[in-house]
Amino acid sequence: MSTFQFPGQTAFYKGKVRDVYTIGNKLVMVASDRISAFDVILPRPIPFKGQVLNQIAARMLEETSNICPNWLEAVPAPNVAIGKKCVPFKLEMVIRGNLVGHAWRTYNSGKRTLCGVSLPGGLKENDFFPEPIITPATKAEQGHDEDISKEEIIAKGLATAEEWEVLARYTRQLFERGKEIAARQGLILADTKYEFGKIGDEIYLMDEIHTPDSSRYFYADGFEEKQKKEERQQQLSKEFVREWLIENNFMGKEGQTVPEMSDEWVLTISNRYIELYERVTGKTFEPEVLTEQETYDRIVAALQNLKS
């Protein structure tokens, strides 16, 4: 996808998977079909991934808007969101209901604390924690995000003690709502992350939420039985991409080479994203393909509408 140039544009940022344009006090976020894992952009785009992420996020922001204010104001194109520009906290508020992914890898290595949070003994992979735990990470401009504790966040001035309390409260409330939405569709929201920013003194929820890039889902049907038998859980998330990379000796470490992605594997990933969209929303995915000019025109028209 080409880089756009909008009237009144003051900044452009190319993230791992999204292009972000600043126009005055608005952000235009274009969700590309790029895919990243272990903080590395993989060599091939995934068809419809941008649309899936953008449309799930828009729906979830709408369904959580009574918990806390959020940045979103318009969705003019399938893979585009426009909203308020916030001053971001340089944090990812990661919350985990189940012992999976990075938390499991940490636990399985023998450690019993994560981000200053004590982990109970005797858990198996994918087990529920007694209650969800918040395990924040620093938001790296480049390279890997780093685990960080509440105490370090406050000591480093990434958030005040008062701001932390608000961030933690919003994170727990949003996760509870996310679990309720998932349960309606026969899913378990195992873990996710939220990003927040400020406009003046008010804290806003930013970015995408409850998508396969920022969350892990399990199928609820058969979950308990699989746990008892210590069988592999069926996941809807990006974890299967990470697992494929690990199997092919890639974890984003120096000297490692990203494995080649076949046409068949790219299509498999695309289908998994579409499956997650349909499972999470309960709606049939309707692919929408726009030319770059059509996308540009829709964005400009939406920005005009937001001004008026």
How much is the average pLDDT of 235-264?
91
Does residue 282 belong to any structural domain of this protein? no
How much is the average pLDDT of 203-216?
92
User: Are 133 and 114 spatial neighbours (Cβ–Cβ below 8 Å)?
Assistant: yes
Does residue 145 belong to any structural domain of this protein? yes
The H or E element containing residue 37 is strand 36-37
Which residue reads 């859980």 in tokens? 233
Does residue 51 belong to any structural domain of this protein? no
User: Are 246 and 94 spatial neighbours (Cβ–Cβ below 8 Å)?
Assistant: no
pLDDT band at 9 (very low <50, low <70, confident <90, very high): very high
Does residue 303 belong to any structural domain of this protein? no
The total of structural domains in the chain comes to 1
- Which residue from 189, 137, 166 is spatially nearest to 67, judged by alpha carbons? 166
Does residue 196 belong to any structural domain of this protein? yes
The predicted pLDDT at position 298 comes to 97
Which residue reads 């909008």 in tokens? 6
Q: How far apart are CA 150 and CA 160, in angstroms?
A: 10
Does residue 137 belong to any structural domain of this protein? yes
- List 113's β-bridge partners, or say none: 118
How much is the average pLDDT of 115-136?
97
pLDDT band at 239 (very low <50, low <70, confident <90, very high): confident
The predicted pLDDT at position 25 comes to 95
Boundaries of domain holding 93: 88-237
Question: What average pLDDT is seen over the chain?
Answer: 94
Q: What is the DSSP string of 147-178?
A: B--HHHHHHTTSS-HHHHHHHHHHHHHHHHHH
pTM of the model: 0.90
How many residues in total does the chain contain?
308
Provide CB contacts within 8 A for 85, sequence distance 6+. Answer: 22, 24, 25, 26, 27, 71, 199
The predicted pLDDT at position 240 comes to 87
Q: For residue 97, what are its two tokens? A: 């209901």
User: Are 187 and 279 spatial neighbours (Cβ–Cβ below 8 Å)?
Assistant: yes
Q: 80-84 and 72-77 as β-strands: parallel, antiparallel, unpaired?
A: antiparallel
Domain CATH for 122 = 3.30.470.20
Q: For residue 145, what are its two tokens? A: 């995000």
